[in-house]
Chain A
Amino acid sequence: MSPFDPSWSESIPHEAGSFPDAILAGALLAIDPTLTGIWLRAWPGPSRDDYLNNLAALFPAGTKTKKLPLSVTDDRLLGGLDLAATLAAGRPIHNAGLLAEAEHHILHIAMAERLSPQHAGKILGRLDHGAALTLIALDEGLPDEAPPKSLTARLAFTVEILPAGPWPEVQTILLARKNLAAIHAPAHAIDHLCALSLALGVNSARAEIFALRAARASAAFAGRDSIEPPDIELAAKLVLLPRATRLPAPPEEPQPPAPQAESAEDNGPREQKLEDSVTEAALANLPPELLAALAAASAPSRKTGGGGTQGKSAAPTRGRPAGARPGPLAAGARLAVLETLRAAAPWQPLRSRAEGQKIAIRKDDFRIKKFKQNPRAIAIFAVDASGSSALNRLAEAKGAIQHLLADCYIRRDEVALIAFRGTAAEVLLPPTHALARAKKTLSALPGGGPTPLAAGIDAARSLADAERRAGKLPLLVVLTDGGANISRDGAQSRPAAAADALAAARACRAENFSALVVDTAPRPQKFVRNLAAEMGAKYLALPYADPKRLSRAVQAEGASHAGHH
């Protein structure tokens, strides 16, 4: 048989190594659609279009590609009564819903990073009940944005780099699809995959099952009748590696230095206990519900000066839909069609109708869409972890933050943590509800180095800005002793650093964020007070905890622990 024979490509086993990973992921998905889907992190453009088109071409003839827009409504997603058709026909007409229509086809989830866990839940519910969905989550997110984890956990593959072809022949895929069920999975292959998964810290049996399926699909693709080492390698690379929470420990070292504290927390050392209790006891005497007061001050009703046109309308007309309520169709209100019809329906037999009018709707029937624009607050802590601050009262600042965290817990806010020291600011903890994690991160925060105050404020501002765009209400809390000595361009100059910090503060004010500046210097600093003023922030000098009280508190803590034994 020569390469010019038309059936050549069909009969020569494919070597997986001859294709880039992203294309292999697509091929394996086409071979075994129970791998469910791909989390595709790429911006729109010709290469993404090419990828999606080539991928769709691998599926059996007749497979369609459907798109799930973010704005999909429940009745369209899950199916229900088709109102327009029902009214036109005068009898109930149902629509199956997008998810039902998408079975055995490919469903693109547009802007998946903006998908709410609630929407994801509905899709996953269908998957749970055995719906044959092939999902491509199109994620155009920035590095710190991602689709709901519940969704990405169900998609076997993650693809970030989109290569140009060549793609495998569709006949090869179809043949592999046919042979898939007959592929043998030897016991040692499963052992091997599980060992890899354990070593990589993958905490999900689902991932291991995906890996096994991927290995089987890979064997089918290569024309083997049993899973062999290259298949395992490929499955591990495509399925397990993107889910790794740690790198495999080198066999020699008994105590690996655990580079990623965040993921290795299960077996992480618990020796920070002592430090914790000290910081807790040091709980500076902050006024209670400080954050609550701040949040109240910045509630959406806050007068912004100028542009007062929206001030009058009490109900927001944008935001997340949150049901409907009876009400007049005033300017700006949006009619909830389904609910209005539902309200009108029971009265139809009683109401007189004009000739040809199918439905009589009265003013009382109007239901107005209610939107939820009461955003969850997020407290963004920017902590000065520089050497001077460490020397001063970093431990107490930590205590103060913990106090504020407890406040957040009560109010069910999210928190984020930024530390600045050396030459840059770093987001230590992206926005989270997990206060325990915030606490852990905080206790592990080391101090030292110069103070890039401007960088810290800038980082807090850009995070606050992103969170506000995501519909949340950011509160900035900056803790510093004011010893700024690194300017924005990284140069070591006190005057420049101070000027930059004040400029950064002004930028915050321009954005109208609510903010709190906590002065952690031994004595209240005029500079920090100025900074707060420039920021439009509340200023608070961290009150000194009386050392006697502190030790008494520590003793009391110890006694209460002893009481439990």
Chain B
Amino acid sequence: MTFPFTAIVGQDEMLTAIIAAAIEPKLSGVLIFGDRGTGKSTAVRALAALLPDIDAVEHCAFHCDPADLTTLCADCRTRLAAGHLPTIKTRIPVVDLPLGATEDRVVGALNLERALADGSKVFEPGLLARAHRGFLYIDEVNLLEDHIVDLLLDVAASGENVVEREGLSLRHPARFVLIGSGNPEEGELRPQLLDRFGLCVDVKTPTDISTRVEVVRRRDAYDTDPQKFTTLYAASNAALRNKILAARQMLPLITVSDGILALGAQLCLALGTDGLRGELTLLRAARALAAYEAAPAVTESHLRQMAAPALRHRLRRDPLDDSLATTRVDRAVADLFAPA
């Protein structure tokens, strides 16, 4: 039983970013910065519970997608050549990567049990394998140890986990939406890792009392009777699920005018973001938002809404100043865009 996504109070920017990442996996992830206890992990788990089951190859350690033959793992390809791939429905994986997870657990390792029992060399899939086609959630991502970050950087960029250890030599697909959360006061994130997250949002504890009361009230109602509470939100959850699915269908059909492209480029130029990833991400995010709102084309308002989450972590920044990124994006948006 999971807290329903639509029962989460406030935190609109975070929820929009997470939904956008669910609509457009190419956004490759969301980084959520903020205080503890603001519902970050609740939102991630709730979204996964909201999304429909996926088709997967039966008995495949990586739950390969039978509809996408290009990303099949070696095992599935062999099975496909020999016959056909039986398909099952499975939940979208949400895998926690705990701080202090060992390399073995993340990458996968030799299955010790099998090796000791019959001497066979069997790969024991790690967290990256389990997260394939789902979400990899890292709480306190800024405290993650460097050697694990290195692993992630490579896999997140290539979509593939290459294992070369203990006499094992194999590769398997590992495409996942990376969700990280943390409190920047407690440690900085390496710029390379920042870059892997398409979107970055700041969450704050709401400061108005009615929102806070509503948060506690709903949580309390859920804790008291989860079944009843979940039923209460079943309809709105289903509506949101359908909206996300429709948006995924629509996504390739959304048009982007030259004017919007130019505006996005101007914005990135004005902010001095490094490379083209900022522009690309901004565009993808705006397109995902347009699809979510069932708009036929990306408009200025979509661009405006996604500018901060897509760009605020890409500014070349003054290491001693952590407060200004959002303000700078807002200012650039205000300068370039016609008043809303």
Q: A residues near B, CB below 8 A?
A: 34, 74, 81, 86, 91-92, 116-122, 124-125, 128-129, 149-150, 153, 181, 185, 187, 190-191, 193-195, 197-198, 203-209, 212-213, 322-323, 338, 341-343, 345-350, 359, 402, 405-406, 409-410, 412, 432-439, 564-565
Contact = CB atoms under 8 A, between A and B. Distances in A.
B98 interface: yes
A62 B245 CA distance: 50
Contact of A409 (B37, B217, B319, B335): B319
Given A91-B117, A345-B116, A205 B143 contact: no
A406 B317 CA distance: 11
Contact of B36 (A149, A193, A208, A432): A149
Interface in B152-203: 166-167, 184-188
Nearest to A439: B320
B210 to A, nearest CB: 9
Nearest to B207: A198
B99 A92 contact: no
B70 interface: no
Interface residues of B, number: 57
A205 B119 contact: no
A203 B120 CA distance: 53
Interface stretch (B15-23, B107-115, B234-242, B287-295): B107-115
4 closest residue pairs by CB, A with B: A118-B100, A204-B37, A121-B99, A345-B115
Contacts of B332: 564
Interface in B78-126: 96, 98-100, 102-103, 109-110, 112-113, 115-121
A208 B216 contact: yes
B99 A122 contact: yes
B224 A181 contact: yes
B98 to A, nearest CB: 4
B37 A206 contact: yes
Contacts of B323: 436
A121 B36 CA distance: 14
Nearest to B122: A346
Contacts of A439: 320-321
B75 interface: no
Contacts of B243: none
Contacts of A150: 36, 139-140
Given A74-B102, A434-B186, A409 B320 contact: yes
Given A205-B38, A349-B119, A194 B187 contact: no
Contacts of B118: 349
Interface of B: 35-39, 41, 96, 98-100, 102-103, 109-110, 112-113, 115-121, 139-140, 143, 145, 147, 166-167, 184-188, 205, 207, 209, 212-213, 215-217, 219-220, 223-224, 270, 319-323, 328, 331-332, 335
Given A92-B117, A150-B36, A434-B184, A118 B99 contact: yes
Contacts of A433: 186-188
Contact of A121 (B98, B185, B205, B331): B98
Nearest to A74: B102
Contacts, number: 165
A150 B98 CA distance: 12
A288 B184 CA distance: 26
B320 A119 contact: no
23 contacts: A86-B116, A92-B116, A121-B98, A121-B143, A125-B96, A128-B41, A190-B217, A194-B216, A204-B37, A322-B147, A323-B102, A323-B103, A346-B120, A347-B119, A348-B115, A402-B320, A409-B319, A410-B319, A433-B188, A435-B320, A438-B320, A439-B320, A565-B331
A438 B213 CA distance: 34
Contact of B212 (A197, A342, A346, A436): A197
Contacts of B98: 121-122, 124-125
Nearest to A123: B98
B119 A436 contact: no
Contacts of A181: 224
Given A121-B143, A194-B216, 16 more contacts: A74-B100, A81-B113, A120-B99, A121-B140, A122-B100, A208-B216, A209-B220, A342-B109, A348-B119, A359-B116, A409-B320, A433-B187, A435-B319, A436-B323, A439-B321, A564-B331
Contacts of A153: 36-37
A350 B121 CA distance: 13
A118 B219 contact: no
B140 A205 contact: no
A225 to B, nearest CB: 15
A338 to B, nearest CB: 8
Contacts of B220: 185, 190, 209, 212
Contacts of A402: 320
Nearest to B120: A346
A285 B41 CA distance: 46
Contacts of A207: 37
